[in-house]
Amino acid sequence: MPESAHRDSVQEEIFSSITHGLGAIVGAGALLYFFFKADKLFLVKSLTLILFGFSFLFLFLFSTLFHSLSFTKARKVFQILDHSAIYVFIAATYTPFLLLVVGGPIGWIIFASLWVITILGVIYKSLFLGKFSKLSLTLYLAMGWCAILVIGPLALGLSPVGLTLLIAGGLFYTFGAMIYSWRSLKFNHGLWHLFVLAGSLCHLFSLLTI
């Protein structure tokens, strides 16, 4: 997950590893579910959901490995993978909503824009890890809330439950970012992880309503 200005304690790293380890298990289950459902879905829906499943798994897996290996030489490699996976996960989460629910030129334009930002974000994390951390967190949130641009089509295309879960997911991420920014709070990083997991689950269940 995003950069911290300080190094977490061993206990905090263990807590962070456990919280996102649970997410990796959920991600593996979701990916398997989407694979088993693939033959019953049309191609675009199947591919976008499988993409989401892979990104869900890798986001939480890389985060778990980063925190588990935080005091080893492998830290930097997994930190790059961890932070890069956030960009991929945001874009992959939006992809089914944009292509299956929004559609049309606006859906494809936002879809393409998010993936261009994702590619640039991965390059940025690979070259400038640890720099401009506030900008990085702001960009994550801005990408996450770009759904506001298409809230009309989403409201029309999603069921009330699906729309509520989509919005709830965004709120979990946003409140979690506030907890993460509370540097003096012990275990703030692990608590942020719980909000990320809650937001991810909301979006997973929202996708299941499509």
Could you tell me the pLDDT band of residue 32, with boundaries at 50, 70 and 90?
A: very high
* Each residue's pLDDT tens digit, 77-129: 999 999 999 999 999 999 999 999 999 999 999 999 999 999 988 998 888 87
| pLDDT (0 to 100) of residue 1 | 55
Two tokens at 63? Answer: 């985060």
Asked if 65 and 78 touch (Cβ cutoff 8 Å), the reply is yes
In whole angstroms, what separates CA 68 from the centre of its chain? 19
Residue 3 has pLDDT above 60, yes or no: no
Q: Residue ranges for the binding site for Zn(2+)?
A: 67, 189, 193
Across the range 42-59, mean pLDDT stands at: 95
Nearest to 147 by CA among 174, 123, 125, 124: 174
**What's the distance, Cα to Cα, between the start and end of the chain in Å?**
29
Q: Which fold has domain 10-207?
A: Rhopdopsin 7-helix transmembrane proteins (1.20.1070)
Question: Which pTM was predicted?
Answer: 0.90
Domain residues of the chain, as ranges? Answer: 10-207
31: Cα separation from own chain's centroid: 15
**DSSP letters for 151-178:** HHHHHHHS-HHHHHHHHHHHHHHHHHHH
Annotated binding site: 67, 189, 193
Q: Which residues of 81-112 are buried (b: 16+ CB within 10 A; e: fewer)?
A: bbbbbbbbbbbbbbbbbbbbbbeeeebeebbe
